[in-house]
Amino acid sequence: MRRFITGSPEMIRRTEEIYRAVLGFYLDVIHDNLDKLPGWDRNSGTRALEKLTVRTEPRMNRKTGKPFGGNPNPPYPIDAVWPKFPAYLRRAIISKAIGMAKSWHSNYQRCRKKERIQDRNERRVAEGKKPILFDEHPPKYPAAGNVGITFYKGDFKNLSLKTNTIQLKVWDGSDWRFITVEVESTSHSRKLHLDDSWEMTVPTIYEKEGIFYLVTAFEKKSNVMKFADYYRSKNPKVLAVDLNLGRKNRAVAPWWGRTVRFTKSGTSA
């Protein structure tokens, strides 16, 4: 569902500029470590990039009194440029950067295969055969560009469908803080009738022709009872089977208070 943002656009614009700058920063860090990219998924890549960029102080061992752990000297310290950057937003940006870089890497590998096809074409032409046609160019490494801001848990709260407001964590020029952002429903969103049974997923803000839009997806809460709750409420009977396969392929099971013996020929009580 898309809505117009009608309040506090300047703070959002500053946050957007910082978001794209940090995204570009992490894309550069990934580019410097491309040999490690194929082995990263979202979780392992996030841990690796945080180790490369996030400064943490060592902790003190209470027994020995000596410091241990920490990451005091990362090779790409993010706090040197953006101090006190929110952890939730940083991890969202890292996840975005990994996704963009891995998409580029996959396309680049496919293009490398086509380079090998080009080598084959030279041999095919020399042999008087028709070349294999392709007209794609190698993909360029991604840049931050006009990427929208995605707010994950911890960076947004209190979306109100009645008052058309949401609270977002933004940069106010001196610190990160929550502000209440006013939104205006679009013609499409006004056609939707959402009640309390719907939950909002992560919102995204993007700018188009000087207007900021808040894009949100909603999912309906499920009323399906969990098995553990169903078991406690209904108290069903359980059939337990002990497959005693070592004794002539027979099994003995308690079933509704009777002993049932399973054999190759059939079942006997």
Same domain, 244 and 200: no
* Residues 213, 232 within the same domain: no
Task: Judge contact between 196 and 206, C-beta under 8 A.
Answer: no
Specify whether 145 is located in the same domain as 250. Answer: no
149-150/251-255 β-pairing? unpaired
Least confident of 116-120, 162-166, 191-195: 191-195
18, 58: one domain:
yes
Which candidate, 198, 239, 247, places its Cα nearest to that of 220?
Answer: 198
For residue 227, give both structure tokens. Answer: 């098995």
Per the structure, the complete domain to which residue 159 belongs is given by 2-220
> Do both 145 and 73 map to the same domain?
yes
Q: Please indicate, yes or no, whether residues 16 and 135 belong to a single structural domain of this protein.
A: yes
Residue 169, beta-bridge partner list? 178
The whole-model pTM stands at 0.68
- 233 and 211 assigned to the same domain: no
- Strands 218-220 and 211-215 come out as unpaired
Instruction: Choose between 229 and 56: higher pLDDT.
Output: 56
How many distinct structural domains can be found in the chain? 2
Return the number of other C-beta atoms located less than 10 Å from residue 64's C-beta: 8
Query: Which carries the bigger pLDDT value, residue 259 or residue 219?
Result: 219
Greater confidence (16 vs 267) lies with 16
What span, in angstroms and rounded, lies between the C-alpha atoms of 179 and 167? Answer: 5
Q: 101 and 214 share a domain?
A: yes
* Distance (Å, whole) CA 121 – CA 127: 10
Return the residue matching tokens 């809460």: 221
Q: What is the pLDDT of residues 109-155, one digit of tens each?
A: 877 666 667 777 777 788 888 776 665 677 889 988 888 888 888 88
Burial class (CB in 10 A: 0-12, 13-18, 19+), 234: exposed
- pLDDT tens readout for residues 17-36: 999 999 999 999 999 998 88
H or E stretch including 51? helix 42-53
| Domain match, 144 and 249 both | no
Query: What's the burial of 53, exposed, middle or buried (CB within 10 Å: 0-12/13-18/19+)?
Result: buried
Residue 43 has pLDDT above 70, yes or no: yes
From CA 170, how far away is CA 53, in angstroms rounded? Answer: 21
Q: Which residues pair with 214 in a beta bridge?
A: 3, 205
Between 257 and 194, residue with greater pLDDT: 194
Structure confidence at residue 249 (pLDDT): 53
Identify whether residues 120 and 166 lie together within a single domain.
yes
Clarify whether residues 156 and 67 are in a common domain.
Answer: yes
Residues 87 and 215 in one domain: yes
Query: End of a domain among 220, 238, 258?
Result: 220
